[in-house]
Amino acid sequence: MIGDGLVNMKFHKDVLKNISEFQRYEWMETNALGSYASSSISGMNLRRNQGLLIVPHNSGKGKVVTLSKFEETVFVENRLFEISTNQYLDTIYPHGYQYQEKFELNPFPSFVYRIEDRRVRKTLFLLEQENVLAVRYELLNQGRPVTLVIKPFIAVRFNDELNREIQGLNTDTYQGNSFVRWAPRPEMPELYIYFKKGEFNTATLWYHGFIYPKDYDRFGISKEDLFNPGFFQVELKPYEKFDLFVSTEDMNLDLKNFEELYYQENQRRKKKLFNFKNSSAAIERISLNFERAFLFRDNKVRIHIDFMSSKKNLRFFLFCLPIYIQKTNSLTLFKNTIEDILKYMDSGLLPVNYPLDNEKPVYNQADLGLWLIYLLYLYFKQYDDLEFLETIYEKLRVMVEAFIKGTTFNIYADRDGLVFVGDRTINVSWIPVKKQNGEVLRYGKLLEVNALWYNALKIMEHFGILLKKKRYVNKYQKLASKVKQNFVKVFGTKDKIGLYDFVHQDVQNNDFRINQIIPLALPFSALDDDYAAALLKRIEEELLTPYGLRSQSIYDSGYRKGDLKDGDEGGDFYAGAVWPWSVSLFVQAKLKYSQKPQEVQGLWRNYFRPLLELTEEGVLGYIPEGLHFNERLNPLGSEDFVPALASVMWSEFLLNEEK
């Protein structure tokens, strides 16, 4: 791989002609609507959630692979050359990767093939505000013309499922003036492909036995059948171009000009929302893709937590906002979003599944409101916006009072001031560890909840001072003092180098998990400096890796090495996997307790270099949700986890730009 410029990435024959090598690299093209296109750099789909046009289902409950791929054949006189590549059960066919000369991402994916003395380039990109994929084929040199045959392979299924040839599927092709249309399944998006020259010849064919090698760990070996309704055919003379526009809706082809759209989209991506001083190529790639995850709708901020799913998680939504606060000029959008979140507060709890899209809010997590209060502290620290603080303070106070008095899911402040949450049947923790029979293990006084609770009380005291609300200042000051006094009594271990993970009745759980970093990373900690320094040292020894923090200590009996499976639920993901999105929590803690900030900067530039290098493999420019180490480094969870990008950017800001 060669990097030319800040975000340009190129791959040549040494990688492209090696089957195991090209499978290491994937591209993804996205738009503001949450749609995406993705595949490997050879064009061979490696996962069931890849394809050329994947769009959100109108129910909001998933994403649909409409067009899986184009299968291309080039005819030079009467000689046939198939330039596509697929994985079938027992073989790879065709062997189009042998003709591929280059793959480039700058910023759009392009593929160059050499067929004898002919060079053909394919370029594609998504329109920002429409579910339209623009694709161009062009003959790059002088000489004989070529004939290009392009077969669309249609899936029209959710991106976590697979197709089987089924009776009753609507395989009819509807041909109009310069377009073809298919409506294979009711309640699913239709598919249109527009073209300005050449012809489309209909057929009804099925291709059987597609295999997606990067699905093996999560789903096992599963086969898929794809529907081919015919083929486009066009002759390309030297330097001639052939454009296709793939859409899920009817459109006016006369308004679609490839050059104009290419220029508009390219210019749009050069207008950076997040700029960093003297940033590396990796930071530039991360910033570009992080920005692509933002959608500004209804005068509010929306963030795609990842593109390859329809995942919604308020906690991770909030994690993405600290860097937005520092870099944006649209504070009104931020404030509107905070007010919208608070609008859905119920019994002091916030909905897990925010932002809501015509769906019922789900309330089952204890810590979300406490994270929101922390985020607001960062905002007011930066902007001193007392007018907005006065607007929302009462709702924040209602939230805190719900914890004090007791609310749903067995959440209440105990006599010692600490918060008790859940029971054996109710999980309200972000670390949902259960027994095999489904019984909840992590309930009671949870470490991370009470670290956040103390931090929230101190922030509410601080806000009360700013707003001259003396009665509330005294109340939260006294309660915070009680919580601090009892925090170490309840959670402190005898050796004073760790904290209990959770406590209830006679149980003091000694698992050393990633949540140990929380009381150190927050602005207000219930620990004294000596205890905090000892805890941080142990975190560095047992949890820290160059990719972020482990979810559990390597010395815990529950730690699992090498046998974690992608897609595991319950405790497995929380028993040793590394979470790259946690790196900013460590950086915050290290800066807070370090006497030498320059050493922390050196740690960031050198020790965490492998974390940034993750953007050069897998889905290019992205970082996965989790990792585990076996014989090789394996991604877990979302392949394109936007909060991990936000964490890197927040760390970069704290170390190099914060005043």
Domains of the chain: 2-270 (2.70.98), 272-330+543-659 (no CATH), 344-529 (1.50.10.10)
Q: What is the b/e burial string over 629-656, where b = at least 16 CB atoms within 10 angstroms of the residue's CB? A: beeeebbbbbbbbbbbbbbbbbbbbbbe
Q: What share of the chain has pLDDT > 90, as a percent?
A: 83
**Tens digit of each residue's pLDDT (9 = 90 or more) over 273-314:** 788 887 888 999 999 999 999 988 889 999 999 999 888 999
pLDDT, one tens digit per residue, over 633-643 is: 889 999 999 99
For 143-157, how does the pLDDT look when each residue is reduced to its tens digit (9 = 90+)? 989 999 999 999 999
Report the Cα–Cα distance between both ends of the chain, in Å, rounded. 37
pLDDT at 566: 43
Tokens standing for residue 222: 């599963």
Q: Find, among 171, 135, 116, 139, the residue nearest to 39 by Cα.
A: 135
- Residue of 492, 496, 524 whose CA lies nearest to 592: 524
Distance CA 373, CA 394 (A): 12
CB 72 within 8 A of CB 82: yes
Measure the CA–CA gap between 85 and 71, rounded to whole angstroms: 8
The pLDDT tens digits of the residues spanning 205-216 come to: 999 999 999 998
The verdict on whether omega for the bond into residue 355 sits within 30 degrees of 0, i.e. cis, is: yes
Q: Does residue 319 register a pLDDT over 50?
A: yes
Q: Are 133 and 246 in contact (CB under 8 A)?
A: yes
pLDDT tier for residue 410 given thresholds of 50, 70 and 90:
very high
Tell me how far apart the alpha carbons of residues 513 and 552 are, in angstroms, rounded to a whole number. 4
Closest of 445, 368, 441 to residue 402, by C-alpha: 368
pLDDT higher at 493 or 6 = 493
Q: Which conformational region is residue 481 in: left (phi greater than 0), alpha (psi within -120 to 50 degrees), or beta?
A: alpha
pLDDT value for 310: 80
Q: How far apart are CA 230 and CA 153, in angstroms?
A: 9
Tokens 């560095």 appear where? Answer: 540
Q: What is the pTM of this model?
A: 0.95
* Residues whose CB is less than 8 angstroms from the CB of residue 218 and which lie 6 or more positions away in sequence, other chains included: 565, 566, 567
Q: What whole-number distance in Å separates Cα of residue 299 and Cα of residue 279? A: 30
Rg (CA), the chain: 27
Contact 99, 189 (CB under 8 A): no
**Predicted local confidence at residue 5, as pLDDT:** 44
Q: Average pLDDT for residues 3-23, to the nearest whole number? A: 85
Task: Please list, residue by residue across 535-560, b when 16 or more beta carbons sit within 10 angstroms of its beta carbon and e when fewer do.
Answer: bbebbeebbbbebbbbbbbeebeebb
Q: What is the pLDDT of residue 252?
A: 93
Q: Which of 12-21, 426-435, 475-484 has the lowest mean pLDDT?
A: 426-435
Q: What is the pLDDT of residue 255?
A: 87
- Is residue 565's pLDDT more than 70? no
Write down the pLDDT at residue 341. Answer: 98
- Whole-angstrom Cα distance, residue 83 to residue 81? 6
Q: Which residue has the tokens 């999980």?
A: 427
The Cα–Cα gap between 301 and 317 comes to 10
